[in-house]
């Protein structure tokens, strides 16, 4: 039986290939099909990173401007 595609189950694996994964399928024999979690949050965790604050972004790239044709 497959898991819901709307909200995949997230798991953390330890061992040879540690990291964050999502469960794609639960099989009747108890095994699971998993894939690496490629969400932005998982990628940031793998890189030990975090989103920049507005102040950090503007210090690096200058103040945010309105989108084209809007000001």
pLDDT tens digits for 12-53? Answer: 999 988 889 999 999 999 999 999 999 988 899 889 999 899
Does the pLDDT value for residue 4 go beyond 50? no
Mean pLDDT of 55-62: 95
Q: Is residue 4 part of a domain?
A: no
Q: Report residue 68's pLDDT band, with 50, 70 and 90 as the boundaries.
A: confident
- Enclosing domain of residue 45: 9-61
Q: Is residue 44 part of a domain?
A: yes
Count of structural domains within the chain: 1
Residues 3 and 24: beta-carbon distance below 8 Å: yes
Q: Is residue 53 part of a domain?
A: yes
């Amino acid at each position: 039986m497959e898991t819901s595609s709307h909200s995949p189950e997230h798991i953390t694996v330890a061992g040879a290939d540690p990291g964050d994964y999502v469960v794609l399928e639960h099989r009747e024999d108890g095994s699971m099909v998993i894939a690496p979690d490629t969400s932005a949050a998982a990628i940031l965790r793998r890189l030990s990173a975090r989103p920049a604050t507005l102040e950090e972004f503007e210090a690096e790239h200058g103040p945010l401007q309105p989108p084209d044709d809007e000001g």
